[in-house]
Amino acid sequence: MKSKQTKLWTLAAVVAICVAVFFAVYCTGNKEAAVSPTEDSSQFVTLTDAVPDAILEIRYFGTYNFVGDRIDGYLEPTALLTKAAADSLRAVSDDVIKQGYRLKIYDAYRPQKAVDHFVRWAEDLSDTRMKDYFYPDLDKSVLFDQEYICAKSGHTRGSTVDLTLFDMATEKELDMGGTFDWFGPESHPDFCGNPDTGEYTGDNAKSPAGRSITEEQFRNRMILRQAMLRHGFKAFPTEWWHFTLKDEPFPDTYFTFPVKQL
């Protein structure tokens, strides 16, 4: 009897571990479990050294973000990327400049301590200072279950970037129909259209508040998306602003050094 009970407990433990590994992998968008942390920044560059035309608005260095505070690990308002990702982003920049735009960067490499800060914030259900701006349709208690907050982020591997386009003619950000870091289906690349074909459908059935974006706003998202895909990046299914280098050089490594000029 004791042996049978021991086997059951062992089986339960194995199942729990498998589930935990599955969700860790799923949240980061990586098929392999990435578990190697390191302080080594030798394969990184300051993004604007590689892409001098980029405009920086590093949201996590300031307080206009979903937390409402400067995020741990952001020591300077700069952006870092792996050399490989920065080289590809330079090609994207050259591409969109010919179309009359410049890249505007919200975030790039994100140290693990910043992700840990997000987790602590999400666990504090009483802190809803920025709810009206970033997650008005959600109760904060669902952020883990719906994977808006995860214990690991692809950004920490160093080849992911959050960005938009700046229109040189109007001298304003291109209107994407929604803000960076909006928690909701309105941020999905397939909201109101088909990102694979570029077709606008106007289908806003997924929006809990009946929000929508216009055909022009959807088209603007596609200008960014198509330029990123042309130059070696892959899109993220729930955020129109989020792209990762397909052949990222460190798919199994999570970096821990802070964001500051290299």
Q: Is the pLDDT of residue 261 over 50?
A: yes
User: What is the rounded (10 degree) CA torsion for 69, 55, 232, 200?
Assistant: 80
The answer to whether residue 239 is domain-embedded is yes
Per-residue H/E/C for the chain: CHHHHHHHHHHHHHHHHHHHHHHHHHHHCCCCCCCEEECCCCCEEEHHHHCCCCEECCHHHCCCCCCCCCCCCECCCCCEEEHHHHHHHHHHHHHHHHCCEEEEEEECCCCHHHHHHHHHHHHCCCCCCCHHHHCCCCCHHHCCCCCCCCCCCHHHHCCEEEEEEEECCCCEECCCCCCCCCCCHHHCCCCCEECCCCEECCCCCCCCCCCCCCHHHHHHHHHHHHHHHHCCEEEECCEEEEEEECCCCCCCEEECCCECCC
Domain CATH number, residue 69: 3.30.1380.10
pLDDT in tens, 132-191: 999 999 999 999 999 999 999 999 999 999 999 999 999 999 999 999 999 999 999 999
Residue range 47-77, pLDDT digits in tens: 999 999 999 999 999 999 999 999 999 999 9
pLDDT for 3 beyond 50:
no
The answer to whether residue 122 sits within a structural domain is: yes
pLDDT band at 11 (very low <50, low <70, confident <90, very high): very low
Number of domains in the chain: 1
Tell me if 18 is assigned to some domain. no
Residue 157 lies in a domain: yes
Residue 233 confidence (pLDDT) above 50: yes
Q: Is the pLDDT of residue 204 over 50?
A: yes
Q: Is the pLDDT of residue 256 over 80?
A: yes
Q: Give the structural domain span for 161.
A: 34-255
Q: What is the pLDDT of residues 16-48, one digit of tens each?
A: 434 343 333 335 444 444 467 899 999 999 999
* Residue 235, in any domain of the structure: yes
User: What pLDDT score was predicted for residue 99?
Assistant: 98
- What pLDDT score was predicted for residue 37? 87
In a domain? residue 191: yes
In a domain, 262, yes or no: no
Position 26 in a domain: no
What residues are labeled active site?
239
Q: What is the pLDDT of residues 82-124, one digit of tens each?
A: 999 999 999 999 999 999 999 999 999 999 999 999 999 999 9
With b for 16 or more beta-carbon neighbours within 10 A and e for fewer, the 1-34 pattern comes to: eeeeeeeeeeeeeeeeeeeeeeebeebbbbeeeb
**pLDDT of 13 over the 70 cut:** no
* Tokens 């216009």 -> residue: 214
